[in-house]
Amino acid sequence: MYTRIDGKEVSSAVRDEIKKQVASLKEKGITPGLAVIIVGNDPASRVYVNNKKKGCEQTGMNSFEYAMPEETTTEELISLIEKLNKDEKVHGILCQLPVPKHIDEEKVLLAI
């Protein structure tokens, strides 16, 4: 036996609930912010990042994008993450995977 769900309907309901929660936070002077980091030019990753930005807009959240070149080092990426961790406007950090092969993914994820 299975249950069929309407993905668009579920997504819309979730976004509506998030909008309410964001509005409640805004009443307290807090606007949630999501920082999204993308390293390199992977087309699928670009689509995913753009969708995250759109989702933030639809729910009233702030979105901060950091596009870094393919040559970015692990240390440079971690430095940015450390800066974002201290930024009071940023409440969540998403580093779009995959990152280029020369970057230590585990170190990056542990820094978030």
List 19, 45, 53, 63, catalytic entry: 45
Per-residue pLDDT tens digits for 100-110: 999 999 999 99
Range of the domain at 73: 7-111
Per-residue pLDDT tens digits for 28-65: 999 999 999 999 999 999 999 999 999 999 999 999 99
Phi-psi category of residue 96: left, alpha or beta, with phi > 0 → left and psi -120 to 50 → alpha: beta
For the chain, the domain total comes to 1
Q: Is residue 1 part of a domain?
A: no
Q: Is residue 91 part of a domain?
A: yes
Average pLDDT, the chain: 96
pTM to 2 decimal places: 0.89
Output the domain CATH number for residue 53: 3.40.50.10860
Q: Is residue 47 part of a domain?
A: yes
Query: Is residue 58 annotated as a catalytic residue, yes or no?
Result: no
Query: Is residue 20 annotated as a catalytic residue, yes or no?
Result: no
Per-residue pLDDT tens digits for 65-94: 999 999 999 999 999 999 999 999 999 999
Contact between 40 and 69 under an 8 Å Cβ cutoff? The reply is yes
Query: Is residue 79 annotated as a catalytic residue, yes or no?
Result: no
Residue 99 pLDDT greater than 90, yes or no: yes
The values of phi and psi at residue 59, to 5°, are -105, 0
Q: Is residue 83 part of a domain?
A: yes
Contact between 61 and 32 under an 8 Å Cβ cutoff? The reply is yes
Residue 1 pLDDT greater than 90, yes or no: no
